[in-house]
Structures are given as structure tokens and as C-alpha cells.
Amino acid sequence: MSGRTTAWERKNVQMNKDLTVGDPGKVVWRFCVPLFGSIIFQQLYNIADSFVAGKFIGESALAAVGNSYEITLIFIAFAFGCNIGCSVTVSQLFGAKRYGEMKTAVYTTLISSGILCLLLMAVGFLFGDGLLRLIHTPEEVLEASRVYLNIYLLGLPFVFYYNVATGIFSAMGNSKTPFFFLMCSSLANIGMDILFTTVFAGWFRYGVDGVAWATFLCQGVSCILAMAFVGRAFSAIRTDEKVLPFSWRLLGRISVVAVPSILQQSFISVGNIVIQGVINTFGTGVMAGYSAAIKLNNLVITSFTTLGNGISNFTAQNVGAGKLTRVREGFRAGLKLAWLLCLPLAVLYFFFGKYFVRIFLDAPSEAALNTGVVFLRTVAPFYFVVSAKLIADGVLRGAEQMREFMAATFTDLILRVVLAKALSLTGLGAYGIWLAWPIGWLIGTCLSILFYRKGKWDAGKEPR
């Protein structure tokens, strides 16, 4: 830092946190607690459309939203990859106090993310209908699914740049600002969803287009405000280093983390589409029950993933600063935090799953309710397992050990998809699909923990 600073600049500097100093356990907890708040509101954002569709429109509308959601996850995967690739690189440069290079990395991400987003929008508009048919979308919900997907694609730039903005904040140890944005945006989204499907219901032909436009508006406002705050925060960081608008070298470095992360999330999405296609053959009732249950499951998995991202930031800053001994302590603190979250969620889902499924369905059919309850009871006991995997993955990603990260992740994902298709053809029926989750999690977790334990976290040694 150099020169005089304004009160605004001093405030922004104070909100940025150096994760390389202080007791690692306390640092991780202070950094990650606001992330849990963000998780809650992120999931409120994600489930709002399904909640409103199921409660205010009907079971078919919920099926349409859930059906489209599996395809939108492909696009979210790319946004997530840009987020984590930028976040890890910026964290390492921030930890090393190379602020000029850090700013160049951010500008490079913004430009490359914009180009990627435009390409994905083109692909979505051209092939979205084909994807919906590929997963055997029933004719009665095909048109509503198509409308919802097209409106979502229009708002894709908001999704991309909002993800990049939150990644930048997290990289600089600022987990509070994204929390405030998500809180305001998700609450507004719920209100707008209800407003557009009740008071202004006559404006929309399918019902689901109302919730889609509500989400579009809220995402747009959130994105614009988040990017404005990033710009102001960056103005508070002074540097005498040369700042370039774009760097191919840094793009390559960002891509080392971003591409495997995109592949991971994309494979999850493609796998979910394959699984959704299998589920669709069991009828609308099973589709609706699965749609409700998978939203609830994603609430938990996203919580662990977000915590894992926080551990990535902690690891990356300390790797950048050469303080490798702190990484192991950070892993232990993150695991304790994840398991504290696991206990109440696993108990609630296992014993009271039917009440949570009813949140999304006003008058659920027996097939829908039973599907949701059985799915939750099957996966809930294994949340302790998958949380350990995602925390270990966070360390691997923050240290740029991407080969190990990909090996563990793809083993889990491939097993889950293959087993879901194979077990559904047995006498187990739909229950065979649900069993694929815990089996894949168990094997993937063993690999992730093994790779983490092989890392060289002793002082003076670089991770393998």
C-alpha cells in the first residue's frame, strides 16, 4: 500500500483478511462462519423456484423446474470453474502480496469468463430443446421446461460475473460481503417469485416463466452490485507493480485449476442428466419426489462444497506465503466444522424427511412423497463421509494438486452414474438409483483422504 487512503479504502482493506497469520483453527472458523450464512441464502435462491412452483402452481410445474434445473447445472459448472480458478490463483498471489499480478489475474478472468459465457449461451439456445428431449422429458412438461431454460440462459452473464465476484472476495479473505449480497438477493427472489405467480400470474402463460423472470431480475441486480463492490474494493489496494488488462500466462495458471473444476461440475451435471433420464421413465410422481429430495440433498452437498472452497482459499493463501504447516491444521478445523453441520442435517433428513419433502409439494401423490423420503433416508447417513471428501478436495485444489483431485472426483462420479443405471434395471427399481450415491461417496472419499495424507505439508517442503 502506498499514498493516502480514503475512509472507504481503509474499510475495504479491513474487510480483507490475511489467512496466513493467527491460530489456523480460529482463522478457518472465523472465515467459514459467514460462508455458512451464504450457504443458507444460496440454497434459498436455488430452492425458491421449486418451492413456489410446487406450492403455487402445481406438481407438473415442479417437475418442469426440476427437469430444467439439471441442465442449468451444466452452465453453473462453468461459472463455478471460473470462480474457483480465479479464487485459488488470486488467493495465492494475495498471500504472496503480489498485488499487481493479482489484479491482472482478476482482469484476465473477467475477459475470458465473458467470452466463455457468450459461447455457452449460443450452445444453450441452439441445443437446449435437444437436451430436454434427450433426458426423456414428458410431453406434458416439455414446453414449460423449455421456457424456463431459455429465460435462465438470458441471465447467464449475471450468474458468471456474480460467481467471479464472490470468488474474488473469498480469495482476499472477505467472506462477509458475499453473505450480505446473497441474503438480500435470495430474500428478494422468494418475494418476487411469489409476486409473479400470484398477483401478476395473468402475465405469464406457463407459470414457471414467472419464477424464471423473477430469478433473472434478482440475479441481475446482485451481479451489478457485486461487481461494483469489487471495483471499489480493488481501488483500496494500491501497488507500484505494473497491472496488465490481460495475461496469457495467468490465464494458463487460472485454467490449471478452473478446467478440472469445470470438468468436475460438468460431469456431475451430465451424470445428473443421465440419472434424470432414468428417473423420468418411472413417471411424473417419482420425478416430482426426486426433484424435491435432490434440492434438499443439494443444500447439504453445497454446504460442504462451499466449506471446501473456503479451505481452498485458506490453503492457497498459505501455500502462496510458504506456510505449509498451517494447511494440515486448517484441514482438521474444516473437518470439525463440517461434521458439526452433518449431525443435525442427517438426523432431520433421516427421521423427518417427509415433512421437508412436503415443503415443495402442496398435495403430493403417494409416489412423490415416498420417493423423496426413501432417497433422503438412503443418503443422509453418509453425509459424514462425503463431507470429509470435500474438505480434503479443498486442500488438494488450493495446493493446485489437480491430478489427484480429478482422480478422486471422477471415480466417485463415474461410479455413481454407472451404478444408478445398472441398479435401476434390477429388482430394486428406483431404490437402486439412490444406492449409487453412498457407494460412490465411500470410494471417492477413500481416494481423496489418501491423496491428502500423501501431501508434503512439512515446513520447507512443497506439496507433491
pLDDT in tens, 432-459: 889 999 999 999 999 999 999 988 776 5
Maximum mean pLDDT: which of 27-41, 98-112, 445-459: 98-112
Collapsing DSSP to helix, strand or coil, 7 comes out as: helix
Mean pLDDT lowest for which of 260-264, 314-318, 385-389?
260-264
Which residue type does 142 have?
L
- Taking residue 130's Cβ as centre, other Cβ atoms within 10 Å add up to 8
Residue 392: per-residue pLDDT: 95
Which helix (DSSP H) or strand (DSSP E) does residue 203 occupy? none
Confidence at residue 76, expressed as pLDDT on a 0 to 100 scale: 85
pLDDT band at 374 (very low <50, low <70, confident <90, very high): very high
C-alpha distance across the termini of the chain, in Å: 33
- In the prediction, which pLDDT does 80 show? 84
Collapsing DSSP to helix, strand or coil, 137 comes out as: coil
How far is CA 227 from each of CA 5, 89, 93, 220, rounded to the nearest angstrom?
21, 19, 20, 11
pLDDT in tens, 114-138: 999 999 999 999 988 888 888 777 7
Mean pLDDT of the 201-217 span: 74
Q: Give the pLDDT band (50/70/90) at residue 464.
A: very low
325 neighbors 459 (Cβ within 8 angstroms): yes
- Which is higher by pLDDT, 198 or 213? 213
Higher pLDDT, 366 or 382: 382
What is the average pLDDT across 323-334? 91
Q: Is the dihedral of CA 227, 232, 233, 237 positive or negative?
A: positive
Q: How many residues does the chain have?
A: 464
Confidence band for 460, pLDDT divided at 50, 70 and 90: very low
CB 273 within 8 A of CB 134: yes
Whether residue 389 has pLDDT greater than 60:
yes
Listed residue (69, 49, 334, 26) closest to 211, CA to CA: 49
Q: How confident is residue 417, by pLDDT bands cut at 50, 70 and 90?
A: confident
Q: What does the pLDDT average to over 271-280?
A: 80
